[in-house]
Amino acid sequence: MIKTALKNYIETLELKNYSVNTINNYRNHFIPYLNYFSEKKPSQINKEEIINYLMHLRSSRQLSASEQNQIINAVKFFYEKVLNRPKELYDIPRAKKPFQLPGIFSAEEVRQIIDAANNLKHKSILSLAYAGGLRISEIVNLKISEIDSQRMVINIRQAKGRKDRIVMLSEKLLLMLRDYYKIYKPKEYLFEGQSGGMYSLRSIQEILKKAKSRAGIKKKGSVHSLRHSFATHLLEGGTDILSIKKLLGHQSLRTTMIYTHVSNEHISKIQSPLDKIL
């Protein structure tokens, strides 16, 4: 029963063209659900039992808001998309994600991080992440053919949400990539591992970690922070929010609006009352 349900579940995710990461996340949440009800057919599990399962997880594990919502969505997918049942509302309050501002590097910190990378390949990877605001998954999936030096754009294919988009190609990045190409001679992907093929996500995170250490930057921040910095610095430079939304590939403007909270364009110009009294 479990094997059949899981097989149908994964096949439906693939047929609906969900990303590899989403498929893995849903599968990892759905398998414990099936095991919890191992003595019942998944199709016979009723709404009350599902709610009890969700409450059991909430009380037995310290779930983040994101993980709790993923579990609910993973379970709902089976009944609504695999078994084609009507949409169901489970009477358990969805956890709200805490409002957190993204980590941002200053322009000078970005320069220091790139300068601290110990070879041209690593410099090119970090420069690309910042110059185009790319997600780490987009960096490793980027192919040589998607760098369009004639139009001065980078073509991002089938990114988050299975959508294509384009971002501008920095002139300085293009010069750096040409030097990089002459030395490393990648065959298909712009950045490839030592044995060829796609570069690993973990390796890129490690590149940033080591570059930050060499630069003496102790501020928290991952490769994704370079994307956040890209958006914030564009906003501070006068680029309109709709253009930034398009460059980042956001579906909703609300997602992009978070950068208005971290931009110091206006905040830094406000005089502290302390300056007036001392």
Q: Are residues 16 and 113 in the same domain?
A: no
Hey, how many other C-beta atoms are within 10 angstroms of the C-beta on 84?
A: 8
Closest to 115 measured CA to CA, from 217, 30, 13, 43: 217
pLDDT tens track for 85-102: 998 887 666 556 655 667
| 174 close to 80: Cβ distance less than 8 angstroms | no
Q: Which two three-digit tokens encode residue 240?
A: 């309109």
The pLDDT tens digits for 200-214 are 999 999 999 999 999
| 239-261 pLDDT, tens digit each | 889 999 999 988 888 888 888 77
Q: Of 82, 99, 118, which closes a domain? A: 82
Q: Which of 17-26, 129-138, 139-148, 174-183 has the lowest mean pLDDT?
A: 17-26
The answer to whether the Cα torsion of 233, 135, 166, 246 is positive or negative is negative
> In whole numbers, what is the pLDDT of the chain averaged over residues?
87
The whole-angstrom separation of Cα 257 and Cα 45 is 41
Which distant-in-sequence residues (6+ apart) come within 8 Å of 265 by Cβ? 235, 236
Q: Which pLDDT score is estimated for 96?
A: 61
Domain contains 174: yes
Q: Where does the pLDDT of residue 175 fall: very low under 50, low under 70, confident under 90, or very high at 90 and above?
A: very high
Domain count for the chain: 2
pLDDT value of residue 277 = 57
What whole-number percentage of the chain has pLDDT above 70?
A: 89
pLDDT above 90: percentage of residues in the chain? 55
Asked if residue 115 belongs to a domain, the reply is: yes
CB-count exposure of residue 133 (10 Å: 0-12, 13-18, 19+) = buried
Choice among 38-47, 127-136, 137-146, 179-188 with the minimum mean pLDDT:
38-47
**pLDDT at position 97:** 60
At 254 the pLDDT is 84
Whether residues 144 and 20 fall in one domain: no
pLDDT at 276: 65
**What CATH number did the domain enclosing 19 receive?**
1.10.150.130
- The residues that are catalytic are 135, 160, 224, 227, 250, 259
199 and 155 within one domain? yes
Cβ pair 134, 191 in contact under 8 A = no
Q: Is the pLDDT of residue 37 over 60?
A: yes
Which of 82, 115, 144 lies at the terminal end of a domain, its last residue?
Answer: 82
At 204 the pLDDT is 95
Q: Report the SS3 class of residue 73.
A: helix
User: How long a stretch of residues is the chain?
Assistant: 278
Give the domain range for residue 52: 2-82
132 backbone dihedrals φ, ψ, rounded to 5°: -120, 0
Q: Please tell me the distance from the alpha carbon of residue 82 to that of residue 76, in angstroms, as a whole number.
A: 9
40 shares a domain with 7: yes
Residue 92 belongs to some domain of the structure = no
- Answer yes or no: do 227 and 173 share one domain: yes
Quick one: 125 and 256 in the same domain?
A: yes
Q: Residue 206 sits in a domain of what CATH number?
A: 1.10.443.10
User: What is the residue type of 132?
Assistant: G
Angle at 58 between CA 33 and CA 51, to 5 degrees: 55
